[in-house]
Structure formats: structure tokens, C-alpha cells
Structure 1
């Protein structure tokens, strides 16, 4: 294969894992990364595109790719306000989807959240639900929406609430049984692996995935 991938959010917890896997995957001849600052990585298949995400339209041909991996995301605390949070988790994601679809992208894979719904009681989940609806309306040949719960892993930025929750993750995993299994904390590396695996499969249509994927479930979980 000779595919071109585009990653947004490659410096994040999931994005870093996606980037590492794509650079090693023979299916991809080039991996383009939208980033606010250089990643200080060197690889023959890597092409960094520095942007503030405010004027994506100006990137033109750089957005002409096959598969888009959208790992953009923040928290209300980090963003500082609801408007700033919505700017990242809704506007930037939907704008990236719109422009890459118009440029001919065949697949769009995006990280959402386990509780995403337009009608959810929390603002965070409602924004995620609205994002999913807007991206779904673009009618990609293949759209994969991944809905992980709490992501486990070492972040480049400190998030106090998430750090505390990660310490409680073994207890949370025990409590989230049966129908609540989709809310179990999950390693970010496992989400990244699932994202790349779904892209390489090449399944058409719109799919919502709770994690881990069914084939990753253990006998104990079943």
C-alpha cells in the first residue's frame, strides 16, 4: 500500500502512540503531522506541518491525504473556559474533518469519549456528542469514532484530577463490570493500537467503537 496519513494531536497521550505505529506500518508511505511546535523527531516518512489550527484552510494540498487520525482533545480545566474547550474539542475537530473530506480523505478516525451524547448531563459529553453528529454528517467513506473511558498513561502536561483517577484505576476497573465495562480506564497505548488497526482494516461506513475492541477483550472480562 502507498497511503498518506494525517495526524492531529500527535503530541498527546493517544496521538504519540498513533504516530509511532504509523511510522512503522508499511501501509503508509508518508505520515503528516499537524502540530503547534516541532516534535523534534526524524523519520523518512514523517512530514511535520506547524499550525495554530486557526487557519487550516491555508494548508491546501497538505490536507490531501487518505486517512485522518484526529487525536485532538483537552479538558475544561486545561482550556480555562467552556468556550476554549469547545474551540478544541468541537470546532477544530469538525473543521479538520470538513476540510480533509473536501480534499478527498477516505477515512476519518476520531477520539471521542465513552459518555458522548448531545443529551448528556455534562457539558463535556454534550460537546463530544455534537462533534460526533457533525463529523458523521460529512459522509466519509469510512468514519471510526472511538469512545474510550479514562485514558491511562504519562501525559506531557499534569492534570491533577486525572492523576488521582489513574491511581484509583484498579478499583474503577473492578467496579465497572457488565454493562459498565465501557467505562473502565484503558491504557492510551491500547487506544492508539486500536485506532491504527481499524484504519488498516479498511471497513467502510460509520462505526462507533467502545474500548477495548471485542477482539481485545479477555476471557476474564467476558
Structure 2
């Protein structure tokens, strides 16, 4: 298997989301990538050299496998119960779409997968959200990929279009206390900037480390802040 370091093609699923938007913009500016291919339900208002956008039907992910030729896959698909409206709709996005696109990309020859999951992901959890995330992680681990990186951030900080005033105030407060939430026990619950999650995902993709690795919020923060040299080239 040939593992590329330069002139790579990145595949991005979920570029319209909070983390995915940062991933897209950072990849476009990254010197290691000659092409950035985005898959979504609508065309995004973003441009850049090497950016290709495909509007697809996620219910038929395998129909687009021929468009998924690339080395690094960034899976940022996800919704909320409030947006989805039901458990069934939530499961479709957070498990089915995320898994089927990753499986199709793996079948198309991808080497590495960077997956956004969540703190507390556990397929045996009593909580539906955490259980779905855990089921996804377990399924992803079975894919024939050289390298799988799973990111489990806690509360994501960043601009959201639907954010209410109360949520904005809560985010400001959370940003103030985040630096003090450290250590093995509580560090994984520290709030983290969505932009830092994107930075960490792209940074580890350049490390070319084989195997399956999980990153909690504290580790994400450390990589994002120590890995700026990798991200910038």
C-alpha cells in the first residue's frame, strides 16, 4: 500500500456542519492537499483552489463510490435530536449516513479516516445519543482502513447559525472555564473549539500513524495547539 504525504486528495462528509466547515477551509489552505472533495446535500457557499463539491443523496451513498477516490477521509456528519425531530431521523444521519459513506470511501481505496464522534460514546450506553455514537465507532473499526482516528470532543464551541441568546451566553461562560478543566479524569469533558477539532484532525492525518486511535477533548486541544506547524506545512 502506498501512503501519500503530498499531493493528496481529501474527502469531506458533513462540510456544512460546525466542525466540517472548519475542516473544509483548513484543507483548502493546506499544502499537502491538491484536491478537496466535499459531499453534501447542497452546494456550500465556499470556494477555493482544488475544491470540488458533489451534491449527493446520502440514502444512496454507494452510488457515488466512483467519486470517492482519495487518501484521507474526514467524516463530520452529525445532527441533533432537535434538528432531526425523531430518534429514527437522528440515527439515519449519525449512524447510517456516517457509516455508509465511510464504507464506500474505504471500498474506493481510502487509507485514513478521521471521524468526529463524541465524549461518552458507548454502544452499551443507556443514553440514546451515546449509544448511537458507540455503535458507529464499533462499526467503523471493522472497515478495511490502514488508519482510523476517532475524535471524541465534549461540548463544541463555535459559531452556530441557530444559536439562541441563552446559548451564546453559556458558550462565553464555558470558554472562560475551559482552560481550568484539565487532567485524565475531567480533561475529556473540557469544552473544545470546533476549529481546534478540525486542526487536530488534519494534523493527525499528516502523521501517517497506522492503527485505531481515539482522542478526547484534552488530547484534541493539545494536538491543535502543538500541531500548528504540521497544519501550516
Residue 158 of structure 2 is matched in structure 1 by 153
Partner of 2:75: 70
Are 1:11 and 2:16 counterparts?
Answer: yes
Q: Which residue matches 2:45?
A: 40
The match for 2:26 among 21, 24, 36 is 21
Q: Matched residues in 2 for 1:119 and 1:160: separation?
A: 35
Partner of 1:80: 85
Give, in angstroms, the shift of residue 156 of structure 1.
2.7
Query: CA separation in 1, counterparts of 2:169 and 2:121?
Result: 22
1:130 aligns with 2:129: no
Q: Which runs of 5+ in 1 are unaligned?
A: none
Equivalent of 1:189 in 183, 186, 195: 195
Is the aligned partner of 1:52 residue 2:54? no
Q: Identify which of 112, 115, 118 aligns with 2:117.
A: 112
Contact in 1 for aligned 2:15/2:23 (Cα 8 Å) = yes
In 2, distance between residues paired with 1:25 and 1:217?
16
Cα 1:135–1:173 shift into 2, 3 Å = same
Cα deviation for residue 111 of structure 1 reads 0.3
Alignment partner of 2:11: what SS? strand
Q: How well do the aligned residues superpose, as a CA RMSD in angstroms? A: 2.1
Does structure 1 conserve the Cα–Cα contact (< 8 Å) formed by 2:65 and 2:105? no
1:183-216 deviation digits (Å, cap 9, x = unpaired): 1111111111001001111111110111232455
Equivalent residues of 1:191, 1:212 under 8 A apart: no
Q: Quote how far apart the aligned CAs of 1:105 are.
A: 0.4
What secondary structure is seen at the aligned counterpart in 1 of 2:120? coil
The answer (yes or no) to whether the contact 1:12–1:156 under 8 Å persists in 2 is: no
Give how far 1:13 is off.
0.8
2-structure distance, mates of 1:215, 1:145: 14
Change (3 A) 1:26 1:32: same
How far apart, CA to CA, are the structure 1 residues paired with 2:116 and 2:67?
22
TM-score of the superposition, structure 2-length normalised? 0.86
In the other structure, the counterpart of 1:102 is 107
Secondary structure of 1:74's match? Answer: coil
